[in-house]
Amino acid sequence: MANNDVLEKRLTPDAGVSADQPTKADGATPNEGTDAKQQATTSPKKLTGYAVVFNQPSKDLGGFKEVVDPHAFDDVDLKDVYLVSNHDFSQVLASTKAGTLKLDVDDKGLHFEATLPDTTMASDAFKNVEAGNLSAMSFTFIAAPDGDTFTKDDSGQVIRTIKQVKSLFDVSLCAIGAYDDTNVRVDKRSYTAWLDDQNNNQQKKEVTPMEKTIIDAAHTESRAFEDYIRSHGEHRDGLTTQAAGALVPKEVIKDVLDLKQSSYDLAKYVTVKSVGTPVGTYPVALVNNGVLATKEELAEIPDIEANLFKGVDYKVATRAGKIYLSDELIADSEVNIVAEVKAQLQKLVQNTNNTEITKLLTSFKKMAAANMDDLKQIFNVELDPALSLSVITNQSGFNWLDTLKDSEGRYLLQPSITAPSGKQLFGAPVIVVSNKVLADPKAGTFPMIVGDLQQAVFLAQKNQVETSWEKFDSYASGLAVVIRNDYEKIDEDAARYVEITPAAAATPSK
């Protein structure tokens, strides 16, 4: 994929997704209790609907709405497209390469028909569509160069029309109605160019407040930051400078510190507050176990015998790193250099969050477990039932959980469309991180954190990132980055760190 290609994701609420009940060879719908031989003659389950609907305006995508032209998929190669759940390629349901996904363009849009495999994941997806839990679609694509246009309708609404798609990667089942961050990833460079053109053509006309706001927000500080990078730190006009460096513009930092950017950033699950001072105390609401007392007429209002808030002391620390930028990257005018820096900053912040939050979570009260009964004891007795519990584990721990079965051979982890991993344990969503982030304590032992993460960890975030241009060595240069934040515990009883050493399987008697 070329550097200037941007993957865009877009929701199709009016997808018309339907679950086609399988039928037996005689055309009848199979009943429960059908024996294995009869089941073998049953047709597979299918999902059908529209992944893209033409000429249907989207919701506001940041200053404009969008429609897809009926010819947008002309000559697009559809031989390697996947049907997945929530854009997660670990949850593949069908593919055009395997012949289990058929994509056809008609007058309404891009129609799909998927033949589902006989897997638990596919069965869960089918049941969720059948129940109406999943009724929207999303698709991931790259627009062709000059493949979109911008116009204004009679009401002044800016409309982006996708005239030509370059590549289609996946069509995805998703929950209804949510134009969230996952489904509104947009390449706004063509929009920015259109705004420039509009501005240049109307220099002698009065610019409306809305247009001025859009233009200023899209360009002023970001352009100054781009000039700063491309001039190797020499050009600083339009930037706030500090000592030898510069402050990264607010519109860039907003995306960098946006905790919805990735489900893999643990900071999105804890309590995060922006602080204005490097040292202070922040009041954090605790689980409310208070009770209102009976008050006699004219009597004073009694105190509530419960701690409703806790003052968390914080002291932001300076954390620094380097973003290496080659001379070729900086000199290439086709590269969106600010976007490249933003992506690197996001990864640095995410990695830092995961490391520091994991370090805190593993310092909570340690408990040992060998089986599911031990985990139930922690859920039922160790932790207050008023807490909103989640489970964090690593790849090894998730694999152990995900392969556990009951006496009838049914998997113990339950599917959940809202959990980051797609699974829940005792009703609590399961979050999976890399073994590199949360390492096994020792061979054969798996880590797990159970608790209310918002009650457990406080992240004091000073929304300011400083950069300075530096030459790192004889061959490399780039931005030295400084971020200031702090990570603190809130409530020691809000979480437990569990080390699971599975009991050895009993040897079958002869």
Residue 120 lies in a domain: yes
122 and 36 part of one domain: yes
Q: Is 500 helix (H, G, I), strand (E, B) or coil?
A: strand
- Cβ-proximal residues to 156 (8 Å cutoff; 6+ apart), any chain: none
DSSP conformation class of 492: G
138 and 249 part of one domain: no
343 and 418 part of one domain: no
Among 168, 185, 202, residue at a domain's last position: 185
Residue 134 lies in a domain: yes
pLDDT tens track, the chain, 510 positions = 444 566 777 777 776 778 777 665 555 555 544 443 344 446 688 999 898 989 888 877 767 788 999 999 999 999 999 998 877 777 889 999 999 999 999 999 999 999 999 898 889 889 888 888 888 888 888 888 888 888 888 887 888 899 999 999 889 888 755 444 445 556 666 766 676 676 666 554 554 554 444 444 445 667 777 777 777 777 777 677 665 677 777 767 776 776 655 557 888 888 888 887 788 887 776 655 555 556 566 666 655 555 556 778 888 888 888 888 887 787 776 778 888 888 888 888 888 889 999 999 999 999 999 998 999 999 999 998 888 899 999 999 999 999 988 778 888 888 887 788 888 998 899 999 999 999 999 999 999 999 999 889 999 888 778 888 888 777 778 888 888 889 999 989 999 999 999 986 434 444
Cα separation, 483 vs 460, whole angstroms: 12
Residue 211 lies in a domain: no
Residue 463 lies in a domain: yes
277 and 175 part of one domain: no
Q: Could you report how far apart the first and last alpha carbons of the chain are, in Å?
A: 59
Cα separation, 10 vs 171, whole angstroms: 10
Structure tokens at 368: 């040992």
Contact (CB, 8 A) for 9 and 183 = yes
CATH number at residue 393: 3.30.2320.10
104 and 248 part of one domain: no
Q: Is 200 helix (H, G, I), strand (E, B) or coil?
A: helix
Burial class (CB in 10 A: 0-12, 13-18, 19+), 418: exposed
128 and 23 part of one domain: yes
Q: What is the model's pLDDT at position 78?
A: 92
370 and 446 part of one domain: yes
Q: What is the model's pLDDT at position 210?
A: 47
Helix (H) or strand (E) holding 345: helix 337-361
Among 137, 155, 185, residue at a domain's last position: 185
Residue 231 lies in a domain: no
Q: What is the model's pLDDT at position 326?
A: 81
* Strand 457-471 versus strand 477-489 pairing type: antiparallel
The domain tally of the chain equals 3
338 and 436 part of one domain: no
Residue 191 lies in a domain: no
Residue 207 lies in a domain: no
Domain assignment of residue 329, given as a range: 241-292+302-355+459-487
CA proximity to 460, closest of 340, 338, 357: 357
76 and 144 part of one domain: yes
Instruction: Look up tokens 């620094």; give the residue.
Output: 320
Cα separation, 423 vs 413, whole angstroms: 6
331 and 395 part of one domain: no
- Helices 209-230 and 189-201 cross at an angle (nearest 10°) of 120
Structure tokens at 217: 């927000």
Structure tokens at 455: 């009650």
153 and 265 part of one domain: no
Nearest-5° Cα angle at 479, 474 to 484? 135
Would you say the pTM of this structure is higher than 0.75? Answer: no
* Strand 158-162 versus strand 65-68 pairing type: parallel
Among 166, 185, 204, residue at a domain's last position: 185
Residue 53 lies in a domain: yes
35 and 128 part of one domain: yes
